[in-house]
Structure 1
Amino acid sequence: MRQRVLDWLADNVPPARIEHILGVEQMAIDLARHHKLDVEKAAQAGLMHDLAKYFKANRLLDMARAEGLPLDPVDEANPHLLHADVGAIVARDEFGVTDAEILAAIANHTLGRPGMDDLSCVVFLADSLEPGRGNTPELNLLRQASFADLHQAVWMNCDASFQFLIAAHRLIHPRALLTRNWFLQQFPRSLSFT
């Protein structure tokens, strides 16, 4: 299956994005192993997380509507945000993935979801923190947090993303805010690394 996905990605995704996807796959494996989660599921979700990344806006909207996914005005303004949810549809329809946890991890990797399970947390964090994203002190702190406590790392990662989006005057999707708030309410203590 892995080679089949890689062949499909080679036809549908630029080489630089494949490097990112492989980085997410590896970080998802590392996080899953560290947190004693299913490594095979993490690898599969990591490898498939960006299947719809380069779909055109109209295709993303059409597939989301056909699937009956709820659309927020932010989705309409920025259909690219739908690539995660649509990616799960592609994983199911193109590759026969039926495992609900894997499909959820793919669907939740961009905006998260309140109460998402640990596998979704792993892929959500791996997408933002894989080594190809850079080597800043902020990213390294978030990487440490992701190995220390998945749940706290989720809201910390959301906070960092929001800071970027606010500085760039970009819209923030309500689901991302709901994700951050849910995880902050459940796991409020701050991690400190010295």
Structure 2
Amino acid sequence: MRDISNSNFGLLISYVVPGFTALWGISYFSPTLATWLNGTNGDGPTVGGFLYVTIASIAAGMTCSAIRFQTIDRIHAMTGIPCPTLDFATLANRTTAYDRLISNHYNYYKFHANELITLVIVYIARQVTVRDWAGGGEDFAFIVIGVLFFATSRDNLQKYHSRAAKLLGTREDIKQPKQHRRRSNRSPHSILKKVLNRIR
């Protein structure tokens, strides 16, 4: 990922950055990982260390994303942001617009939600290895950032779901016209027409 472009920026913020943050937290428990991040003498990582960190960041980011899917996604769904049943049969002619929705909303959602998971990892790691559990400015900062990530992730996910539903439609939208036709067939006018046809 030498050059950052629109095609890989989403992967960078969705997995690599949160994964690197998670590695930072885990490095409090692992001297080897701390060496990868800081170098032998604190002069920065070596070429090999940079490669290891990049691969490990992707793996850690994917793991954090799995945790996010099982926790944050479900919390949002249970608190007013359910996932719509999109009609992907209409996707073929709207791929560009849908990709833009992912770039503008869903990738940022994954960043903020995954970073919330990694923030918890870093906080616990620092509390266990650096100092005792005690309130202070650092704890307050972690709470504020966590609330910010959570609220922003809700906003991003809400916009993605609502705009994707408008773009592609949902399965409920497909069922409604059928129900409407059934109701229209039972209208007084249609019933009268059927009666007259039988009389004739």
* TM-score in terms of structure 1 length: 0.26
TM-score by length of 2: 0.25
Bigger RCO (CA 8 Å, 6+ sep): 2
Bigger Rg, structure 1 or 2: 2
